Amino acid sequence: MKGSMSMLLAILTLAGTLTLPSMAAEPEDEEGTAQEAVQEEESAQTDETEAAEAEPEPDPAGTVSWANLESRIRSGSLSALILAENIGSIEVIDYDQMAQDIRDQLNGIADLQWMMILMGDRMSANSLDQTYDSLRENFDAIQDGEMQADNADVVWQLEDTVNQVVSGGETLYITLVGLEQQAADGQRGLDTIDRNLEQLRLRQQLGQVSQQTVEELEQTRSQTVSQLQTLDTTIRQMKAQLQTLIGETPTGEITLGPLPTQDTMEWEEPDYEADLEAAKAASWTLRDAQKTLEDAEETWEDARDEYRLPSEQYLYQQAEHVWNAAQFTYDSTVQNFEVGFQTLYNTMINDQQVLEAAQSALAWQQTLLETAQTRYDLGLISYSEVLTAQDNVAAAQSAADGAWRDLLSARTSYRWAVESGLMQSSNTASAS
């Protein structure tokens, strides 16, 4: 139904209340009533306990946790709140009452037209035809369920947009955690440079290395410091964005809680075919493409009925080409969706393999560190070699953490696709 939403926004709706009749209860024996009361109380206590266990603790001031991130975005983001209110404005519509209001308006216009005709003012009466027809169109749309269906699609689209806001916040969170680790890695690298620089300066005094060698490392240190300062600025800016999403003043100063670990994250093994069908059913993108296709088909059918004269055949052929193009566009949209979903799935599988390799590399570096510590204790190597082994373990740990962030991001994107039909890239969160 074309134009129903614009007309809908111009129609005033009346809210009604529904009073349910009270039900008379049959008498029961006192013992049975007492037992049921105890059971109900125990059940209520159990429900409260389960709810308390399922709901995460509120975040302390100045912090945000992964567990509370989605709820805080939905309740704090102005964009999400605006969308939620728009959704609410549609969901509260009483279509029965609206139909009655329109019926009353139609009857009022018809009565007014009749009076004008009796008074000889047929021109004024005819001027109301357009208003009458517009109201009649909306009345018929309600009776046929078209307006309800159109508004359901609008709610679908708005909810999809809210989901985009939330998922974008999750991606930002994962990215920030990665950037903070990158900053920590950079600081560790700076500490290593300082350690090496101290040794080089001592050797330079002993005449073992040139002044140029020392200056080159000093230059490297300056560049590292500059890069860390730039990274710190980026982190502050992105934290301000995150604060805006959760409804806080964007100061750039907020502490992020740790990401869930692989051991603590609940995750069901994916079923590709079933998940793909669920994603398609939940996708607003595919629904919108379907609506566009249906509109194009309706236009083509109208053209087929309207353009029957030989001189009008080109108009019919033109409409037919538009209809054919619409079908190809729809097929392309479905194809792109399927390819995108497959990419999400393959990314998730690949990231799992990368994580396993990174964990194996970490275990090997930890073994080498233990060996180095043992050799140092025996006086076989210098402590500098132990420090180097520690740096290698830290680097391997950082790589494993980055691999887990990539996998978490991939799983999160896949979940959004399956549950909400939301298609997004999962390769932007590593920052490692």
Q: Is the pLDDT of residue 22 over 80?
A: no
pLDDT of residue 93: 95
State how far the Cα of 126 lies from the Cα of 113, in Å rounded to an integer. Answer: 8
Share of the chain above pLDDT 70, in %: 86
pLDDT band of residue 156 (cuts 50, 70, 90) is: very high
Q: Is the pLDDT of residue 51 over 70?
A: no
pLDDT of residue 355: 95
State how far the Cα of 200 lies from the Cα of 217, in Å rounded to an integer. Answer: 9
Query: What's the chain's average pLDDT?
Result: 86
Structure-model confidence comparison of residues 11 and 146, the more confident one: 146
How confident is the model over 300-315, as a mean pLDDT?
86
State how far the Cα of 344 lies from the Cα of 421, in Å rounded to an integer. Answer: 12
How confident is the model over 42-61, as a mean pLDDT?
67
Run of H or E residues at 262: none
pLDDT of residue 15: 27
Count CB atoms within 10 A of the CB of residue 141: 23
SS3 sequence of 180-247: HHHHHHHHHHHHHHHHHHHHHHHHHHCCCCCHHHHHHHHHHHHHHHHHHHHHHHHHHHHHHHHHHHCC
State how far the Cα of 205 lies from the Cα of 199, in Å rounded to an integer. Answer: 10
Contact at 8 Å (CB) between 329 and 292? Answer: yes
Query: What is residue 1's DSSP assignment?
Result: -
Q: What type of residue is 303? A: A
Tokens of 386: 């132990």
At 89-133, the pLDDT tens digits run: 999 999 999 999 999 999 999 999 899 998 988 898 899 999 999
At 363-396, the pLDDT tens digits run: 999 999 999 999 999 999 999 899 999 999 999 9
Residue 329 burial (CB < 10 Å; 0-12/13-18/19+)?
middle
Structure-model confidence comparison of residues 343 and 24, the more confident one: 343
Structure-model confidence comparison of residues 363 and 319, the more confident one: 363
Structure-model confidence comparison of residues 26 and 130, the more confident one: 130
Q: What type of residue is 219? A: Q
Ordered by where they begin, the domains of the chain are 262-432 (1.20.1600.10)
Count CB atoms within 10 A of the CB of residue 309: 9
Contacts of 119 (CB under 8 A, 6+ apart): none
pLDDT of residue 242: 97
Instruction: Indicate the Cα dihedral angle 11, 15, 21, 25, nearest 10°.
Output: 130
Tokens of 207: 């005449």
At 193-232, the pLDDT tens digits run: 999 999 999 999 988 989 999 999 999 999 999 999 999 9
pLDDT band of residue 39 (cuts 50, 70, 90) is: low
